[in-house]
Structure 1
Amino acid sequence: MSQQQTSHRGRATRVSHGWGEALVAVLAGLVAMVVTAALGLWAAGAADLPGGAFWPVVAAVVVMAAGGCVELSGDAGLIAGTNADLTVLPLSVTLAGALVIAAGFLRPLRHRAVAGGRELASWAARLAVLWVLALIGLSLLARHSFDIPLGEGTIADIGDLLDASPTVGFRADIPITLVFGLLWLAGLLFLALLVSRKAPLPARLVRFQESVRPAAWAMVVLLLAYVVLGLVVALVVAATRGHATETFAVILLGLPNLVWLALTLGLGATWEGRVDGPFGLPMPQVLDSVLRTPEDSTLNLSTLTDYDGRYWWLLVAAAVLLLGAAFVMAVRSPARMRPWQHAVHMAVALTLTVLMICLVVQISAHVGLSLLGLGDLGGDLAGVVTLRPHLWSALGLAVVWGLVTGFLGSLLASRVRRRGEV
């Protein structure tokens, strides 16, 4: 009888980690990403794109959100050419899919203390196979081309004379998309295991959870707190200043891009970039104003407050939320840990978090038209948007902030009843 019960439980465990559960997790994550991208693009006016381009654009946005690569290409006749490149992550779409897929990955693993490495690898492999199929389907859909109107004037006359009809198109690079899409999924599943208190770990890794899991959870709380705070601010702006559809487009496509950038700026980090041509940063307007210069401009608290002194509140928000994250980390850690240990854990976690932000928030976009090899011509046809961090100074500031807030958070948590063991 006991053997039958054991066999039954084993079959139940295998079923709970089966292809059906994996399919539900992947489809739910994919639907969350597609719906978020579609609503965001609709709010941005992409529903009016010609030639049925809306859904290919949605697919391209989802591919980029999953870490994939979308290549831009152009053609403008025999003696004219267009060139374009785009590197940006729509992090609202990324976050929506990540939360849903992570929940689906962790659900069958809850309420267990330990799991074998082979079991976890098998469960992740099922998700990976289905995720690859989803990425292939999205990549095949993510391709389209657009005609670029030359307008009136000299450029239009030259275009007619040389029979140059510029077009710009895009298509997903399937091999690169599959590689980076799998890396994105692997990183997501690994982070989910680090953060969840109920997810089991292989026996040889259990001893690391006391130091790693509280810090990882604190960083996730910090990032989500910034997203929630940014959402509240965006909704207030939409209600009081108008431009509701543009604001909702930013919320649904790039809210984490803005608020996580604000986190690094609040820490004192410096970014540099440039906005030139018809393209720009949609919100807040001060970013476009600071960066819209002929050469690269510096973006930090000092340059922002030159336009609006209220941006010093970014420093206050960073201090308060970091201290809150350090307090959460200390409360979830074993009571025997010392303040200097909390400081080190917080410093390491915050440094890795800032590194991640610097890698995913940076932007590089360029579109141009050249005639007879003369370079970019036409003010309405050429544009550049770049944004990149001063990486090493940002990481150094993260270490300092982590040490200070980790130590103070530990002192605050010492007055709170805490657990002895994880």
Structure 2
Amino acid sequence: MHQGDPPASSGPPPLGPDPAVGPLLLRSFSAALGLVLGVLVAMAALGALGLWLARADTLPGGSFTAVLAATVLMALGTPLTLDGSAGFIAQANAAVEALPLSLSLVGALVAGVAFLRPLRHRAVAHAGELLVRAVMTALLWALAVSLVTLAARHSFAVSTGNTITDQLGSALNASPTVGFRVGLGRAIGFGLLWLLVVLVLTFAVSRSAPLPPRLLRFQNGVRPAGSALLAVLLGYVLVALVAGLVTAMVHGPARDVLAVVVLALPNVAWLAFGLGLGGSWHGHLSTGIGLPMPKVLSEVLRSAGTRDTTVDLGSLARQDARVWVLAALAAVALLCCGAVMGARGARRAEDPGRPALSRHAVGLGLAVAFAMLLIGLLTRVSTAYGLSLLGVGNGASDILGSLTGGSGGSTTLSGSVVLLPDLLRSVLLGALWGAVAGAAGGWFGSRLRRGSARRGRPG
């Protein structure tokens, strides 16, 4: 061997981890931990405020923490199961499927911002890095949801309001109790589905989020409509917030109105948007169990008793003609959305093989149709409860009243609130409205481009 020659290799290079993998995993873990903690803190803080306004701190048994944990899980789409018993005398059961969308929206916004923050200075992201970060986030999120689920169960004794009945129940070891719980498997499943939808929508509506090179060609077809429609939906929430605060100050009762604002503002705002576009829901309200909703909506749902009735602008207008303003508001909002898309399109190079009018019509039509599908699924309510005495009938004192929000002392403990979307009608009308607004926006953008070209042409 000559001096200066490299040493002979004694075999294949030693196997070991890629030096770049360790820092990537560490960064992904740190970012995922920050995201999970940020989302939980934001949702828990808002939920605690809303539940306090709704007087949930007065529930018996010191169950506020458990109720808060259950509310956070419900905001992820997880159904809540209520059950109760009075020994061998009676058994009660209930189910609540309703999303407190204020918590869902705040959690989604925090998750989106936290996931994109480490990527804010990039134009392109590698698919492998995004996958590693998403998997790490999902693992920590599943662990966090599991811990919250363990706290989301409680059982406590409830007074019937009758001293003799309470003493008799105690003597017979049949004092009425009420409990609520969330299944661990369902909570993790719904929690991971919520996270997946949030991350996909974050990249679909963000105008600056970096994408892998293979997906860059799709961004001009999805993001303009998605970001413009997101602005419309958030604008509806802001308008509803102003209306709620004014109602709290002028009409009251302030604490009850603010509870609805804090817990369920997007439920009301986006239901109004869907109804304004001609969408419809169906359902009934057989007795009040404390779920907050506008008075005009509750009157329509009560009108049919236990039978389902249609909820649309026509049925609401028979109770209050002012609801027709929702149609005008939706039309103006979507036309503004189309105009924003057209203005943004006028500032960038357009595809010469596809006219702007048809491109904007298809893009916004699909976006609004998808939005109507999501609004229908997110605003659905299915709540029922009952108390069976020795398996015969549903007559009993209002044992579940303090938990469900109903008035105490009623003689019937059974009822239901159902509000389900007519998805096909809502999606089709959303696509039609979106296509019209998108075409108008494409025409507006074409006029802007022609005007800019004339101003830039030498005289």
Question: Considering the TM-score relative to the shorter chain, is it more than 0.5?
Answer: yes
Report whether the alignment pairs 1:387 with 2:422: no
Matching of residues 347-386 of structure 1 within 5 Å: 347-378=365-396, 379-386=411-418
Partner of 1:345: 363
Is residue 278–residue 380 contact of structure 1 (8 Å, CA) maintained in 2?
A: no
SS at match of 2:214: helix
- Higher-Rg member (1/2): 2
Matching of residues 292-303 of structure 1 within 5 Å: 292-293=302-303, 294=305, 295-303=307-315
Unaligned runs of 5+ in 1: 1-9
Q: 2:205 aligns with which of 195, 213, 238?
A: 195
For residue 391 of structure 1, report the CA deviation from its aligned partner: 1.5
| CA pair 254-113 structure 1, distance change in 2 beyond 3 A | same
C-alpha distance in structure 1 between counterparts of 2:202 and 2:75, whole Å: 18
Counterpart AA for 2:436:
V
Partner of 2:248: 238
| CA pair 395-18 structure 1, distance change in 2 beyond 3 A | closer
C-alpha distance in structure 2 between counterparts of 1:159 and 1:377, whole Å: 17
Report whether the alignment pairs 1:180 with 2:184: no
Partner of 1:147: 157
Is residue 85–residue 176 contact of structure 2 (8 Å, CA) maintained in 1?
A: yes
Is residue 356–residue 446 contact of structure 2 (8 Å, CA) maintained in 1?
A: no
**Cα RMSD between the aligned structures?**
2.5
Is residue 150–residue 159 contact of structure 1 (8 Å, CA) maintained in 2?
A: no
Report whether the alignment pairs 1:397 with 2:443: no
Is residue 79–residue 164 contact of structure 1 (8 Å, CA) maintained in 2?
A: yes
Counterpart AA for 1:382:
S
Partner of 1:411: 443
Counterpart AA for 2:285:
V
For residue 415 of structure 1, report the CA deviation from its aligned partner: 3.9
Is residue 79–residue 162 contact of structure 1 (8 Å, CA) maintained in 2?
A: no
SS at match of 2:289: coil
| CA pair 75-247 structure 1, distance change in 2 beyond 3 A | same
C-alpha distance in structure 1 between counterparts of 2:164 and 2:343, whole Å: 68
| CA pair 113-16 structure 1, distance change in 2 beyond 3 A | farther
For residue 28 of structure 1, report the CA deviation from its aligned partner: 1.1
For residue 139 of structure 1, report the CA deviation from its aligned partner: 0.4
For residue 281 of structure 1, report the CA deviation from its aligned partner: 4.5
Partner of 1:320: 332
Report whether the alignment pairs 1:220 with 2:252: no
Is residue 380–residue 420 contact of structure 2 (8 Å, CA) maintained in 1?
A: yes
Identity among equivalent pairs (%): 46
Partner of 2:408: none
For residue 163 of structure 1, report the CA deviation from its aligned partner: 6.6
Is residue 343–residue 444 contact of structure 2 (8 Å, CA) maintained in 1?
A: no
Is residue 81–residue 166 contact of structure 1 (8 Å, CA) maintained in 2?
A: no
Matching of residues 18-417 of structure 1 within 5 Å: 18-152=28-162, 164-293=174-303, 294=305, 295-333=307-345, 334-336=348-350, 337-378=355-396, 379-416=411-448
C-alpha distance in structure 1 between counterparts of 2:449 and 2:45, whole Å: 43
Per-residue deviation, residues 25-60 of structure 1 (Å, max 9, x unmatched): 211111100001000000001011111100100000
Is residue 43–residue 106 contact of structure 2 (8 Å, CA) maintained in 1?
A: yes
Unaligned runs of 5+ in 2: 1-19, 397-410, 453-459
C-alpha distance in structure 1 between counterparts of 2:260 and 2:363, whole Å: 34
Q: Which moved more, 1:196-205 or 1:273-282?
A: 273-282
Count of equivalent residues: 410
Q: Give the TM-score normalised by the residue count of structure 2.
A: 0.83
